[in-house]
């Protein structure tokens, strides 16, 4: 059962990650459809997922929230400091394949971006998208992030070198887009 709600949207809640969520997360990051979208290279076993939970999900500098609809886990969204100054943050997200294309990723990304600026006091937020992940690129474009550049053949994913697209938005741009 996911933890308490931390941020609420119209159709989803972002909840704390709890030990009971590890089986869902392990299954999702190992899913052959999801793995290439997050740059997964190796299988993640239960011990590794537990280590991630104990070391990273509890770290004050990193925010990991379970994306849930009516208490059902759908994926995870994260916010990490991108540098030691705290000026820049990086968002990551993945959803289980059955939840793709329904706008849940956009809503979760909007909630975590707003949190990054309002509560974590980041000035700039970035997101990376692996080549071919059209849905992820669409999320950032819908939210007003600009395409900042392409790192050519920067990652090895699913047996080939792929480009990594970078998207970003500043605090002023984020709040100005609402009018």
Question: Which domains are assigned to the chain?
Answer: 5-126 (3.40.630.30)
Q: What is the pLDDT of residue 1?
A: 62
pLDDT score of 40? 79
Q: Which residues of the chain have pLDDT under 70?
A: 1, 178-179
Q: Global pTM?
A: 0.93
Task: List, in sequence order, every beta strand (DSSP E) within the chain.
Answer: 5-8, 13-16, 63-69, 72-81, 88-95, 124-130, 146-157, 160-170
| Residue 3: predicted pLDDT | 86
Position 71 scores a pLDDT of 92
Residue 8: what pLDDT? 96
d(CA 94, CA 162): 18
Distance CA 176, CA 173 (A): 5
């Amino acid at each position: 059962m996911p933890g308490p709600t931390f941020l609420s949207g119209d159709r989803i809640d972002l909840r704390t990650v709890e030990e009971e969520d590890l089986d869902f997360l392990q299954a999702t990051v190992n899913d052959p459809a999801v793995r290439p979208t997050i740059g997964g290279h190796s299988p993640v076993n239960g011990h590794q997922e537990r280590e991630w939970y104990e070391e990273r999900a509890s770290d004050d500098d990193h925010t990991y929230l379970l994306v849930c609809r009516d208490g059902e886990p759908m994926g995870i969204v994260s916010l990490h400091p991108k540098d030691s100054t705290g000026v820049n943050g990086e968002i990551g997200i993945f959803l289980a394949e059955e939840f793709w294309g329904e706008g849940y990723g956009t809503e979760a990304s909007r909630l975590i971006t707003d949190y990054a600026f309002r509560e974590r006091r980041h000035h700039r937020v970035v997101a990376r998208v692996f080549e071919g992940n059209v849905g992820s690129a669409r999320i950032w474009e819908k939210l007003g992030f600009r395409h900042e550049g392409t790192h050519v053949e920067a990652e090895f994913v699913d047996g080939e070198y792929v480009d990594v697209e970078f998207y970003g938005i500043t605090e002023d741009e984020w709040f100005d887009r609402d009018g």
